[in-house]
Amino acid sequence: MINNRIPLTFTTMRACLSIFLIFLWFNVVGQQTPAYSLDILNLYKLSPAFAGVSDQLNVFGIYKSQWQSHSGAPTQYTVNANLPFYKWQGGVGIDISSTNQGVTSQTDIKLSYSYHVQGLTDILAIGVSLGAGQFGINSNEIITPEGSYSGGINHNDPILGVNRNTQIYPNYGLSVFYGAQYFDAGLQINQFIGQNINVKENVNYALSRHMSGFFMYYLTLPNQWTYQPSVHLMTNFKQFQMELTNLLKYGNVFGGVGIRGYDSKSIESLSFLGGIKFNEAYTISYNFDVNVNKLRNTSEGSHEIMLRYDLNREINTGRPPNTIYNPRNL
């Protein structure tokens, strides 16, 4: 429970709504960036500017297996951690993520720093992220119409080879986070510059700029229940996607439902999530996505599991701030 954050006012609500109206401008085009349904439980993943806001070490590990029963379906994992660094008036964090999809793979490692502007009862954080990634194509797994694959691999294609081709690229990001008594909001931009990488001769891969944002409201109900609705918006400036989640918490147990999509063309899946906080340090969460688009006839859904660790004590990295901000943690 948080009782030391500023309540909703017309000014703060208008500022947050303005952020999300930016996203609605992009809904004429849309393909979502790869995301986890459990991201809503990992604020650092949603906005690296959250680094250090909890005044303790937070570590997350999450794995996702998507579109079960499809050969070459995406699998992805993420490990991230963040903690306060008071000497720099903020926090630091690291995020390591990897995605395998068909014959391609992509791995990113990013470090982040967040500068905190602490109010009497609220907080504003501005973050920057720097890192590098590797994109790869496994040509051995490609099958061409004119290829010969008896006793060896011969694609009969002048561009494709028989080796794994990789290329390393830089990654830059910007983010912002704002926390008040009854809500949290954040925004981040990944691949801030955007670039094309040459995987091999005549094979280029475009890294497009991605932006996402979230808004999360906290409502305390009678008998120790808490209701937490949230919206998560994503765009690559060509396509747009939205995810709505409704979460209920009672004691150390929580669960909820969500939907990804906003109209008949973009609705993709329903999500069912739940978890338990075993003690002050460990929390485990699970999510199952049920496809409601054309994949529903061939896919058995997607699974996610996340483990969270909280140090649950103040980090001694310098002089702590005068006001300690304690975000709601599931």
* Distance (Å, whole) CA 194 – CA 254: 38
Task: Name the residue ranges covered by the structural domains of the chain.
Answer: 10-310
pTM (2 d.p.) = 0.80
Look at residues 98, 97, 60, 115 and name the one whose alpha carbon lies nearest to residue 82.
60
User: Mean pLDDT throughout 175-189?
Assistant: 93
Contact predicate 99/106, CB 8 Å: yes
Q: Rounded to an integer, what distance in angstroms lies between the CA atom of residue 307 and that of residue 329?
A: 13
- 19 phi and psi angles, rounded to 5 deg: -60, -45
Q: Stretch 39-51: mean pLDDT, rounded? A: 94
Percentage, residues of the chain above pLDDT 90: 44
Q: Count the neighbouring beta carbons within 10 Å of the beta carbon of residue 16.
A: 20
- 200-214 pLDDT, tens digit per residue, is 666 677 777 889 999
CATH code for the structural domain at 10-310: 2.40.160.40
